[in-house]
Structure 1
């Protein structure tokens, strides 16, 4: 029984070290605070992929009563530790993302045009911003064919689940 407790404590200590390290990258003034706009990047760097709505819920949990535009590490750590322990907001597996692209590819060509992908991602669900679309297209578009070969892109954009 003691081994299980020690294993759990070691896991929590490792998670909290990873959280602290990720937070520290954006704590530019070394005062245990980061700009609220950086929290999504920190959370995603820790392997979580919340939607924008879920991210806003997480921010509401850790933001001060009077929002300052900054998040305190001592508020962020317990919330993020819980999220990681519960394995919340895990990324979608490659096959699920591939099936989503295949649904969008109504002509079954194995690719989408920039216009098609832009239409789907800016008019449906949680719409991408222009900046997000430009960033995605810069990584997604095959420079030779000028289309998104989504099988290659899915492999590029998925992460291994640890």
Structure 2
């Protein structure tokens, strides 16, 4: 029984070390706070992919009563530890992503044009913000051909567990 407890403590300790390292990258003043706008990036760097709505809920959980524009480490750490322990907001598996791109690629050409991608991102489902769209385009679009070779893009985006 003692072995199981140590393992659980080791897992939590390891997660908290990762969270601390990710938070510290954005703690520019070294004062245990980060700009609230950086939280999504920190959370994603830890392998979580919440929707904008889920991210908003996470922020509500760690924000001060009087929002300051900053998130304190002491509030972020327990919330993020719980999220990682519960394995919430996991990335979508590669085969599911591939099927989604294949559905959008109606003529089965193996790529989407930049214009098609922008159209799907702004008109379908939960629309992406301008910033999210630009980030995705800069990461996904092959600059020489101006298309998304989605099999290559998916392979590059997969985070190994």
TM range (shorter): over 0.9
Q: Please give the root-mean-square deviation of Cα atoms over the aligned residues, in Å.
A: 1.1
SS at match of 2:142: coil
Give the corresponding residue for 1:136.
136
Structure 2 residue 101 is the aligned partner of structure 1 residue 98 = no
What is the match of residue 78 of structure 1? Answer: 78
Q: Spell out the pairing of 1:8-47 with structure 2 (5 A cutoff).
A: 8-47=8-47
Number of positions where the alignment pairs a residue of Structure 1 with one of Structure 2: 161
In structure 1, distance between residues paired with 2:139 and 2:73: 32
Report the secondary structure of 1:24's partner residue. Answer: helix
SS in 2 for 1:23: helix
- Distance in 2 (alpha carbons) for counterparts of 1:159 and 1:131: 22
Where 1:135 maps in the other structure, the secondary structure is helix
Report the Cα offset of residue 157 of structure 1. Answer: 1.6
Other structure's SS at 2:147 match: coil
TM-score where L is the length of structure 1: 0.94
Structure 2 spans left out of the alignment, 5+ residues = none
Structure 1 segments unaligned to the other structure (5+ residues): none
Q: Distance in 2 between matches of 1:64 and 1:5?
A: 33
* Aligned counterparts of 1:119 and 1:159: Cα–Cα separation in 2: 26
Displacement after TM superposition at 1:78 (Å): 0.6
**Residue of structure 1 in register with 2:57 after alignment:** 57
Give the deviation of 1:114 after TM superposition.
Answer: 0.9
Q: Deviations over 1:50-89 (max 9, x none)?
A: 1111000000001111111000111111100000000000
Alpha-carbon separation, structure 2, partners of 1:27 and 1:20: 10
Deviation (angstroms), 1:133:
2.0
Tell me the secondary structure at the aligned position of residue 66 of structure 1: coil
- Spell out, residue by residue over 1:107-130, the C-alpha distance to the aligned partner (whole angstroms, 9 max, x if none): 111111111111001112222222
